[in-house]
Amino acid sequence: MPFDYLLFLGAFLFCAGLFVVVTRKNAIMVLIGIELMLNAANINLIAFSSYDPVALQGQIFSIFIITVAAAEAAVGLSIIVKVYQHFKTADLDKINELKG
Amino acid sequence: MYAFLFFLTFFLIYMVFVVYAERKISAFIQDRFGPMEVGYYGILQTIADLLKLVQKEDIVPLAADKKLFKPGPVIIFTSVFAGFAVLPLTSDFGGAAADIGIFYLLAIVSLDVIGILMSGWGSNSKYALFGAMRSVAQIISYEIPLGLMVVCVVMISQTLNLQEISYQQGIWWNTVNSGAENYLFGIKALGINTTNIGGILTWNIFRAPIFLIGFVIFFIASLAESNRGPFDIPEAESELVGGFHTEYSGLRWSFVMMGEYGMMLLVSFLAAILFLGGWNTPLPNIGSVVLAEWTSGEPGTIAGHIWGAFWMISKAFLLVGLQIWIRWTYPRLRLDQLMNLSWKYLTPASIILVLLSAIWRLFMI
Amino acid sequence: METSNIIFYIFGAITVLSTLYIVLTKNILYAAFALILTFIGVAGIFIFLGAEFIAVTQILVYVGGILILLVFGIMLTNRLSEKKVVSPSYNKLFGFVIAGGLFVLLIKGILQANFSALGWINQETSSPSGIREFGMTLMTDYVLAFEIIGLLLLLALIGAVRIAGNTRKEAEDAI
């Protein structure tokens, strides 16, 4: 398989994630978009790592990415749940108390 | 490929008989007869039930979310069945001997939570939703002690490959890894070499006696993983009708049930491999009375296959029987008791066991 | 075409199609479940690239953990009703311009960089992708990062529990 295809896939996932983050207002959809972007980064790391003759740096780095994604999802969702309890909505545009 | 075909047929035959066994054992425990009409002692009852289930209408509630409701049970069953892909059945036969076998198994089994959530939410019914949420909370909580027990075993055996873990617990370890040695209780300083004695003395629960506790924790967690009593809160009939599969009927309902019973078999196989020696015989060689060699064949030979499959399957069935026994003797736990048990007792205990097995590993080398 | 190539394309197609579905669907729950397919597709590609451990970790953490969290989040922030859980997209044109522009830019960059022509890409690799080497590397060369990531997880756990839990006590504190 051509190496470029893997990078195209990563780029596509990243842009799709970006699109989701930009266009959706629901907080959970934004989180989904972020997960997509993190996955895109992982694909690139693993793709380069599989051609790395020396070490497993890419794979190890992607383990860290996965862990950070897990931590981020846990904290993010707890914040979303709290916000929902307070504002009765998870729509990010309606949570604008600071907007004067 | 052969392993796939074997496990599929084995699984279906097992299904027919485990349901019969469950009804008979529960009847015995409750001092009644159980199924008696169909066939001799009601032995064909499950087949009649199966025929009935196949003919039943596949009801999809009007308000249900069909895209989630329909594939839910299939995902539950598929993910459980995919777990069989790495199980070694005998010394030379079984699923893929993947290097990450046990890790893969834990991951793929966690997929069935997705199926439960899909069917619970898709049913659009409060019973189903509550059942699904309870079930998922329970499975995720108990995955931690389960996973930590697996970590303990992996630390002692230094491999994730299930076939290798099995080899280590018997007299045939030398055939794949010359120079490997087992000692009594795993303690090298004792100097009692059990590599050629084999039998129960080289099972993991004896190689590292702390696993006697570990096995109990694993067993309790696996009961909860497969939503079995006394942890069957998710489908508590008296409160939730049937839990996440309240709205299902016919073939889809039977998929859910197959998922549950399949999970029982899978965790029993896993417990047998991790703690009870896998396909190895329980009888040790005593001097010139080489019981272990009489009751197990050399890997690769026909005798090896037959004895291996025999020990493996009988160990697994024994554990399945134990699960059924427990279900019909213990009352159901309350939700808070369930969570307490997992988070306040099992998880700390298994963390301590991880530490202890790290120390035990030091004795072994 | 080799079998392995076909498998790669299948997993790639799963990933791309499910991602497109996430982008296009209005239903949050469908998007979350489509995300599973994306993750599984990506995991398949990881296996294909010889990173089995990462692939299984991907399934274990993302599907078994993060996704359940997401679905729970959806269920806790929506009421069970006849209506479906929808979240329409806004500023579609704007978003499309940004994302599409970035995509074109990245594609151009990848094509121009021409990674396939790099020397070390075409080297015959005897990559030590075994799990043993992986573990050794993780516990020796990268042990500090490994410990820190463990600490981060612990902190995230405590933080999440602190934020989401214990509503009653906080109400008392407020008074």
B175 part of a folded domain: yes
B287: exposed, middle or buried (Cβ count in 10 Å: 0-12, 13-18, 19+):
exposed
Residue C168's pLDDT band (cuts 50, 70, 90)? low
Q: Are B186 and B364 in contact (CB under 8 A)?
A: yes
User: Token pair 């048990």 is at which residue?
Assistant: B341
Mark whether B73 and B2 lie in a shared domain: no
Count how many residues are written for chain C: 175
Mean pLDDT of A50-69: 80
Q: Tell me the C-alpha distance between B193 and B184, whole Å.
A: 6
B140 touches chain C (CB under 8 A): yes
Task: Give chains near C: 3+ CB pairs under 8 A.
Answer: A, B
Residue C151's pLDDT band (cuts 50, 70, 90)? very high
What is the pTM for the complete model shown?
Answer: 0.86
Hey, what CATH topology would domain A3-88 get? Helix Hairpins (1.10.287)
Mark whether B199 and B119 lie in a shared domain: yes
B280 part of a folded domain: yes
Mark whether B179 and B30 lie in a shared domain: no
Q: Is A26 helix (H, G, I), strand (E, B) or coil?
A: strand
Closest residue to A50, CB basis, from C9, C50, C73: C50
- Please calculate the CA angle B208-B99-B109 and round it to the nearest 5 degrees: 80
pLDDT at C126 over 60: no
Count how many residues are written for chain B: 365
Domain encompassing residue B27: 1-55
d(CA B124, nearest CA chain C) in Å: 7
Task: Give chains near B: 3+ CB pairs under 8 A.
Answer: C
Delimit the domains of chain A by residue range.
3-88
Per the structure, the count of domains in chain B is: 2
d(CA A41, nearest CA chain C) in Å: 11
pLDDT at C136 over 60: yes
Mark whether B10 and B80 lie in a shared domain: no
Mark whether B121 and B34 lie in a shared domain: no
Closest residue to C38, CB basis, from A36, A77, A91: A36
d(CA B363, nearest CA chain C) in Å: 21
Identity of residue B56 = K
- Partners of B286 in the beta sheet? B289
Mean pLDDT of C85-100: 79
Touching B: C residues 42-101, CB under 8 Å: 52-53, 56-57, 59-60, 63-64, 67-68, 71-72, 75, 80, 82, 84
Mark whether B333 and B216 lie in a shared domain: yes
C13 touches chain A (CB under 8 A): no
One digit per residue, pLDDT tens: chain B, 365 residues? 677 888 888 888 888 888 888 888 888 888 888 788 887 887 888 888 888 888 888 777 777 777 888 888 888 888 888 888 888 888 777 777 777 888 888 888 888 888 888 888 888 777 888 888 888 888 888 888 988 999 988 888 888 888 888 888 877 777 777 777 777 777 777 777 777 777 777 888 888 888 888 888 898 888 888 887 787 776 766 677 777 777 787 788 888 888 888 888 889 988 888 888 888 888 877 777 777 777 777 777 788 788 888 888 888 889 888 888 888 888 888 778 888 888 889 899 999 999 988 888 888 77
User: Token pair 């000692």 is at which residue?
Assistant: B183
Contacts of B100 in chain C (CB under 8 A): 52-53, 56, 131
Question: Distance of CA A7 to CAs B129, C103, C117, C124, Å?
Answer: 41, 11, 14, 20
Q: Do chains C and A touch (3 or more CB pairs under 8 A)?
A: yes
Closest residue to C68, CB basis, from B65, B107, B136: B136
Contacts of B121 in chain C (CB under 8 A): 29, 71, 75, 80
pLDDT at C174 over 60: no
Residue of C nearest to A60 (CA): C138
Q: Name which residue leads in pLDDT, C21 or C166.
A: C21
Q: Write down the pLDDT at residue C80.
A: 58
Mark whether B27 and B98 lie in a shared domain: no
**Contact between C152 and A68 using a beta-carbon 8 Å cutoff:** yes
B51 part of a folded domain: yes
Mark whether B87 and B167 lie in a shared domain: yes
pLDDT at C128 over 60: no
